[in-house]
Structure 1
Amino acid sequence: MGIDTFKVRSAADFSRFLTKEPRFFYLYIQMKCDPTLSTYLNNCLYFTANSLARTVGRMAEEAFGDTGISPAHAFLMMLVNERPGLTQKELTQVLQLAPSTVTRFVDSLQRKGLVVRELEGKLSRVSPTDAGLQLKGPIAKAWKSLYRRYSEILGEEEGKHLTAMVSKANRTLEEGG
């Protein structure tokens, strides 16, 4: 069992985890005894960005539980609900995802009866079904719920500031990479 698959919900869980995973127990003790390692991880953009993504991802999954789709699928649904007939290429560009990922998302939403594909030669246009359009309200409610939750924890202004900083850093790194 790896660290990624073990959910620690309490001190007892953590103790059991460390007992079953001695290499992580060693790392935990090393980090407690050597603040340099902990400082290094907490000052590493890669580590902190991924940790933040996992934390916000869990919050988003909870907020979207009642919609029946994931937060990532909800972004695609929002786009096709607002602009029916978007091509998969346009979705790929706007969502900044690989074409194969967008294809999987569309396939999944199509199986659920939320979108349809319309072929125009080599172009594949995606539009919502009536069931997909009915998700507009629940998706908006889920986003508001997620926003409220992290705003209550971080503070609304801090949440806005963090979002702006992460977005700017992402654009800068994309342009420079």
Structure 2
Amino acid sequence: MTHHFYETCAYFTAARYMRTVESLATQTFKPTGMKPAYAYIMLALEDHHPQTVTELATTLGYDRSSIYRMVQRLESQALLHMTTVGKSAMIDLLPASTTFLKTANQCLDTWGALTSEKLGPDKAMMTQLLTTNNEKLRR
């Protein structure tokens, strides 16, 4: 008997896809000197800052503890600053983030072009399905 999970299991196929995506994204975002997740935190802050750890976690879909840990690393690189306001940790960009963000935005553009080239017209539909299905599973 051969198992069918290679093609039909949402967990297995999504995890296999993510391992491939993570490898390609890590190569693409290498010029930032950090893993892609760090660049996405910075890009989310570029879109709206300051933000709390909770806001970033909600926006990016990470646990608050993971965001907090990654923000601490970015803070150690003098790219952002975190302050405590009541029970919240508020995060804001520092002037040194400008260079990092320029590189991160270039990597994001490269990533977009690479995935458009490799996935073609399936990219938009697949991304929408992943977004919708993620929302369904999180409820």
TM-score (norm 1): 0.73
Does 1:99 pair with 2:64? yes
- What CA distance in whole angstroms lies between the structure 1 residues aligned with 2:19 and 2:54? 27
Determine if contact 2:5/2:12 at 8 Å carries over to the other structure: no
Does 1:162 pair with 2:113? no
Is the partner of 1:97 in helix, strand or coil?
coil
Which structure exhibits the higher relative contact order, with contacts defined as CA atoms closer than 8 Å and separated by 6 or more residues? Answer: 2
Note the residue ranges of structure 2 that are not aligned, 5 or more in a row: none
Is the partner of 2:84 in helix, strand or coil?
strand
Note the residue ranges of structure 1 that are not aligned, 5 or more in a row: 1-33
Alpha-carbon displacement from aligned partner over 1:141-164 (angstroms, at most 9, x marks no partner): 111111211221221x21111111
Q: 1:119 deviation in Å?
A: 2.6
Determine if contact 2:52/2:88 at 8 Å carries over to the other structure: yes
Number of equivalent positions: 139
- What CA distance in whole angstroms lies between the structure 1 residues aligned with 2:122 and 2:24? 17
Q: 1:168 deviation in Å?
A: 1.0
- 1:49-64 to 2 correspondences below 5 Å: 49-64=14-29
Does 1:145 pair with 2:103? no
Determine if contact 1:115/1:132 at 8 Å carries over to the other structure: yes
